[in-house]
Structure formats: structure tokens, C-alpha cells
Amino acid sequence: MLRVGVLVSGGGTNLQAIINAIDNGVIPEAQISVVIANSDMAFALERAKQAGIPTKVIVRKNFPSPAEFDIALANELRSHTVDLVLLAGFMAILGPDFFTHFENRVMNIHPALIPAFSGPGYYGLKVHKAILDYGCKVTGASVHFVTPEVDAGPVIIQKSVQIHQDDTPESLQKRVMEEAEWKIYPEAVRLFALGKLQVVGRQVIIDK
Ligand code: GRF
């Protein structure tokens, strides 16, 4: 049984997609062991409670340094013997101390086709606004393994989404979630749970 820990900050729709995929048997042999938020306002905490998943709030400002915050997160995840960590709208950057415990076992979902419109400063609606301002015709979402460099780890799955001429950042954000994010994040977790992902340098090899 794969034990998953999910880090959240906001609405938690990606968390919900993964809860649903586990409940429906789409992701076999997996359970979410803990959901950790860096704010007690995160609606994702409600979703976790509804699903009967243990929750924890760990707030950055309660720690003297980013490194100590990272260690507190890692310790909480380890206390639940978590095998895989999912960042699902987690609005904090993790430092190297975190990854020593979870190398190639941390995933993130980014609402663009990495490496476009990714890296520091590209989060939330800013990503979609930048894509529309540039005049792109296609965008999408990417699931990748997380490394200390923001949005730069090996890509696991990407899915494209057409941009409409009348899109706003809000309408594009919604369609990227519905058409891409909520599909590819559960799929990446399913592949991990089945032991089908192998990282070789920058490549993620998927065992079909
Ligand atoms: C998603 O757009 C995700 O790609 C990004 O943050 C957002 C989180 O949304 N990393 P939610 O909290 O899962 O609804």
C-alpha cells in the first residue's frame, strides 16, 4: 500500500481529484495518510476532513528559518511513513533539506507546459495571464518530480489545452484544471503506485 502525503495551501481541487481516483479504484493500492497545509484557511483541509484523512497545519512564520520549516514538514510526513509527497497548490518553496528525505518521491502539478511559463513568480492566475498576454494558442499542465530548483525537475506527464480567443485568465485556469490537471495528476500517482516510473537523468521512463 503506497502511503501518500499531500501538501496544500488553497482550494484543493487537485487533492480532491486524487481522493476521488483512490476511492474509485483508479489508483490502486494507495491511501492518503496525511494532508498538511501551510495555512489554516486552506479549503483543502475541509476536503481532507470530509474524506476522513488526518490533517495538520504547519505555518512558516512559526519557524525561525526556511530550513527549520522544511524539517518540520519532512518530520510530519515521516511520522506518517509517507512514500510519496504531492504538492497540490502548495504555495511555499521547499529547500534542499526537504529533498534529502524524499529524493524522486515528491511530485508537483504546474498549470503550463514546462519549461514555458514556469519557475519563480509563475503561480496561480499569473501563469494564465502571462500565457494570454504572450498570445499563445495552446497551453496545458505538467506533472513533474520536484527538485530544489522551482518547476525544473524531470517531467512525468504533460497534457495540452487549446486556448480560445475570448479566454480570460480565469476561464483558462478553469479549463486547464478540468481538461488537464485533474486527469494527469491522478494518472501520475497511479503510475508511481504501480512502480511504473523510472527516473534516468532528466528523463522519466514510463513502463507501459
Ligand atoms: C493548480 O492550478 C495547480 O496547477 C497549481 O496550483 C493550483 C492549485 O489548485 N500548482 P487546487 O488547490 O488544487 O484547487
Q: Are residues 44 and 68 in the same domain?
A: yes
pTM of the entire predicted model: 0.97
**12 pocket-lining for ligand 1 (C-beta < 6 Å):** yes
Is 185 found in the same domain as 95?
Answer: no
Looking up residue 25, the CATH number of its domain turns out to be: 3.40.50.170
Q: To test ligand 1's pocket by mutation, which of 6, 8, 13, 14 has the most ligand atoms within 8 angstroms of CB?
A: 14
Q: Whose CA is nearest to atom 1 of ligand 1?
A: 89
Q: Please tell me the distance from the alpha carbon of residue 108 to that of residue 89, in angstroms, as a whole number.
A: 8
Is the same domain home to 114 and 152?
A: yes
State whether 13 and 56 are in the same domain: yes
Residues 23 and 81 in one domain: yes
Last residue of one domain, picked from the residues 102, 117, 136: 102
Cα dihedral 28→32→38→39 (10° resolution): 110
38: containing domain: 1-102
3-state secondary structure of 3: strand
Q: Are both 96 and 3 inside the same structural domain?
A: yes
Same domain, 96 and 148: no
pLDDT in tens, 152-195: 999 999 999 999 999 999 999 999 999 999 999 999 999 999 99
Q: In this structure, are residues 152 and 172 in contact, taking their beta carbons and an 8 Å threshold?
A: no
User: Same domain, yes or no, for 6 and 95?
Assistant: yes
pLDDT higher for 6 or 97?
6
